[in-house]
Structure 1
Amino acid sequence: MLNLTDLILGLVVCGIAAIFWQLRQISEIAEFHAKRVCQKRRLQWISTARVQARLGFIAGQGLGWNTRYQCEFSTDGMNRLYAVLVMNGRKLKDVEMPLYPEPEWQEAPESKGRIGGCGGGGAPTSNCSSGGCSSGCK
């Protein structure tokens, strides 16, 4: 037989499960946005973690979750930097990125010439004329 205590306990369990489900969906959306931001800026995404979740009013949406996520990324595969993603409900509101050095591994310039020859930076300008290079490099 079902009494009032069992009904209240069942509603509490369902409420906790619903809150967990909503926050889990928002976390997956935040991770998608973090990966997309890293891909656009040529950064290596490492991880995303929720650091804050508050229930509040969201303009145009009503009652929802205001959450903040910490995104860990790297510019060169060695260092770790942190960004903050601010979510209003399931929408990305803001990305707070620190200043970081420009990543170099994907679009590094290719070296041309030889050391001491044309384009190598070590040759005197008399070796390289407008008609060609006297040392044979291109």
Structure 2
Amino acid sequence: MLSNLVSIFALCLICFLFWQQRRQAEVAKAAIAHKCKQLELQLVSVALGRHRLKDENGRWYWNTSYQFEFSSLGDDCYQGTLIMKGFRPLKFQLPPHRV
């Protein structure tokens, strides 16, 4: 009986974490699309980079990096990175590109 309860709790926890990761991915994609529109760039694709539990200062927090490809003139392709802290975009890293 207790093992069933633990199994149900573990399944609920996994579903909750999956749901939160999907929600974060939607927020990240919207932030990347907004940044590309602001800089007049064409967004090509967005992909999940990796999850980390600590930030660069050693504090415990859910950090996720997203890789995205963009084009400035339509015939080139560059790769940028977005660091998300929870559900907030923390830092964009864009390489130098043609304007």
Aligned structure 1 segments of 4 or more residues deviating by more than 4 angstroms: none
The one of the two structures with greater contact order (alpha-carbon pairs below 8 A, sep at least 6) is 2
Q: Of the candidates 94, 97, 100, which is equivalent to residue 94 of structure 2?
A: 97
Deviations 1:54-103 (A, max 9, x none): 2348xxxx96421100011111222221100011111111000000000x
Residue 68 of structure 2 is aligned to residue 79 of structure 1: no
Q: Percentage identity across aligned positions? A: 31
Looking at structure 2, the residues matched to 88 and 75 of structure 1 have their Cα atoms a distance apart, in angstroms, of 27
One-letter amino acid matched to 1:28: E
Shift of 1:8: 0.9
In 2: Cα distance, 1:50 partner to 1:64 partner? 17
SS of the residue aligned with 2:5? helix
Long gaps (5+) in structure 2: none
| Per-residue Cα deviation, 1:1-39 (whole angstroms, up to 9, x for no partner) | xx1111111111111111111111111000001001110
TM-score when scaled to structure 1?
Answer: 0.64
In the alignment, the residues of structure 1 paired with residue 7 and residue 19 of structure 2 have an alpha-carbon distance, to the nearest angstrom, of: 18
Code of the residue aligned with 2:52 in structure 1: it is R
Q: Does 1:40 align with 2:38?
A: yes
Whether 2:66 is the aligned partner of 1:69: answer: yes
Larger radius of gyration: 1
Return the alpha-carbon distance in structure 2 between the equivalents of residues 76 and 20 of structure 1. Answer: 36
Rounded to whole Å, the distance in 1 between the matches of 2:38 and 2:48 is 22
TM-score using structure 2 length: 0.88
Count of residues paired in the alignment: 96
Question: Superposed, which structure 2 residues align to 1:8-47 within 5 Å?
Answer: 8-47=6-45
